Chains A and B, each alone.
Chain A
Amino acid sequence: DIQMTQSPSSLSASVGDRVTITCRASQSISSYLNWYQQKPGKAPELLIYAASSLQSGVPSRFSGSGSGTDFTLTISSLQPEDFATYYCQQSYNTPPTFGPGTKVDIK
């Protein structure tokens, strides 16, 4: 299985901050990397697919980049509704695997 890691595991930030979350794969996954946001008690929601494509309806302050083994999710200006846990997921091969998550909370 391809192992996914994320850093940091948690971070505290203020509204308006620029936030960057990193995801690393244990082997090259080309651009087969997806990002999800999960709020407490809710199902995950797709934010970014194929490393940098914004899912329909997702605000443009979210962006993704990277290829190979290293990827980044950036929130350009953190909003109150963005406090959540973020997961990356590789879709390069089976089984699809998720990172352990990065929790973003209020400073």
Chain B
Amino acid sequence: QVQLQESGPGLVKPSETLSLTCAVSGYSIRSGYYWGWIRQPPGKGLEWIGSIYHSGNTYYNPSLKSRVTISVDTSKNGFSLKLTSVTAADTAVFYCGSHRGYPGYFDHWGQGTLVTVSS
């Protein structure tokens, strides 16, 4: 059973870079699947940020593409998210997840981590 766990700072200052990692267990990240990030502002809906295939191919939401980098770390069996130049509008719960195919459906999710952008 695939399990995912997000980690990273819960508070980021405006204009700085948000960095999160997702640890995957129960499945080798090199074996397949797409690995993605989704965010949810407090009280609002879900927004796909981007995904990466185990080979390293990346797919980003055009609305965030200029600020997003997703990468895989096979040595740690995980993947990461970097979002630059953050503002208060980036405050959200960030989820990592896995999906079959692209765009695909997300069949495994991490528990989520709240990141607040504030000085």
**What residues of chain A have their CB less than 8 Å away from a CB belonging to chain B?**
1, 32, 34, 36, 42-46, 49-50, 55, 87, 89-101
By the criterion CB–CB under 8 Å, are A43 and B62 in contact? no
**Residues from chain A with Cβ under 8 Å of B59 in the complex:** 94
- 20 A-B contact pairs sorted by A residue (CB < 8 Å): A32-B103, A36-B106, A42-B112, A43-B95, A44-B46, A44-B109, A46-B105, A46-B106, A49-B105, A49-B107, A87-B45, A87-B46, A89-B46, A89-B106, A90-B103, A94-B102, A95-B61, A95-B63, A97-B48, A98-B48
Which A-chain residue is minimally distant from B48 (CB atoms)? A96
Q: For residue A45, which residues in chain B have a CB less than 8 angstroms away from its CB?
A: 109
Cβ–Cβ < 8 Å partners of B97 in chain A: 43
By a beta-carbon cutoff of 8 Å, the part of chain B in contact with chain A is 45-48, 59, 61-63, 95, 97, 101-107, 109-112
Which B residues are in CB contact (< 8 Å) with A101? Answer: 45
Per a CB cutoff under 8 Å, which of B45, B103, B110, B111 touches A91?
B103
Task: Report Cα–Cα, A99/B61, bound state, in Å.
Answer: 16
A98 CA to B45 CA, complexed, in Å: 8
Residues of chain B with a CB closer than 8 A to A98's CB: 45-48
Chain B residue numbers with a CB within 8 Å of A92 are 103
The verdict on A89 contacting B105 (CB below 8 Å), with A43-B95, A43-B112, A100-B45 known, is yes
Q: How many Å from the CB of B7 to the closest CB on chain A?
A: 15
CB pair A96–B109 under 8 Å, yes or no, is no
